[in-house]
Amino acid sequence: MDPGSADQKHFNLKTPKGTRDFNDKEMAIRERIFTTITSVFKRHGAVTIDTPVFELREILSGKYGEDSKLIYDLVDQGGELTSLRYDLTVPFARFLAMNGQKYQNIKRYHIAKVYRRDNPSITKGRMREFYQCDFDVAGTYDPMLPDAEVLKVTVEALSALDIGSFTVKLNHRKILDGMFEVCGVPVEKFRPISSAVDKLDKAPWAEVRREMVEEKGLDPVVADRIEKYVSLSGGADVIKKLEEDTEFVGSERARKGLEEMKLLLKYLDSMGIAEKILFDLSLARGLDYYTGPIYEAVFNNPADGAGYDGELVGVGSIAAGGRYDNLVGMFSGGRQIPCVGVSLGIERIFSILLRKTKLEEVKSNEVEVYVIGLGDGVLEERIRIAAELWDAGIKAEFSYKVKPRLQSEFDTCDRDQIPFSVLVGPGEVKDGKVRVKDMTDKSEENKRGVLIDRAALVTELKLRLC
Residues within the annotated binding site? 87-89, 116, 132, 136, 285, 289-290
Q: Quick one: CA dihedral 249, 205, 118, 317, positive or negative?
A: negative
Which of 19, 242, 50 minimizes the C-alpha distance to 117? Answer: 19
Instruction: Please give the span between the terminal C-alpha atoms of the chain, in angstroms, as a whole number.
Output: 55
- Residue 28's SS3 state is helix
Look at strands 129-138 and 106-115 and give their pairing: antiparallel
Q: Determine the Cα–Cα distance for residues 280 and 263; give it in Å rounded to an integer.
A: 16
C-alpha angle 321/323/327, rounded to 5°?
A: 105
Q: Is 19 exposed, middle or buried (0-12, 13-18, 19+ CB in 10 A)?
A: middle
Ranges of H-type helices in 13-137: 24-43, 57-60, 89-98
Q: Determine the Cα–Cα distance for residues 43 and 165; give it in Å rounded to an integer.
A: 23
- Residue 196's SS3 state is helix
Q: Determine the Cα–Cα distance for residues 22 and 217; give it in Å rounded to an integer.
A: 45
| Structural contact between residues 279 and 187, judged by C-beta atoms closer than 8 angstroms | no
Q: Determine the Cα–Cα distance for residues 118 and 184; give it in Å rounded to an integer.
A: 33
Q: Which long-range contacts (CB under 8 A, 24 or more apart) does 307-310 make?
A: 307/356, 308/164, 308/352, 308/355, 308/356, 309/355, 309/356, 309/358, 310/123, 310/355
| Structural contact between residues 46 and 108, judged by C-beta atoms closer than 8 angstroms | yes
Q: Determine the Cα–Cα distance for residues 384 and 388; give it in Å rounded to an integer.
A: 6
Q: Determine the Cα–Cα distance for residues 457 and 386; give it in Å rounded to an integer.
A: 11
User: Which residues are documented as binding site for L-histidine?
Assistant: 87-89, 116, 132, 136, 285, 289-290
Q: Determine the Cα–Cα distance for residues 18 and 122; give it in Å rounded to an integer.
A: 7
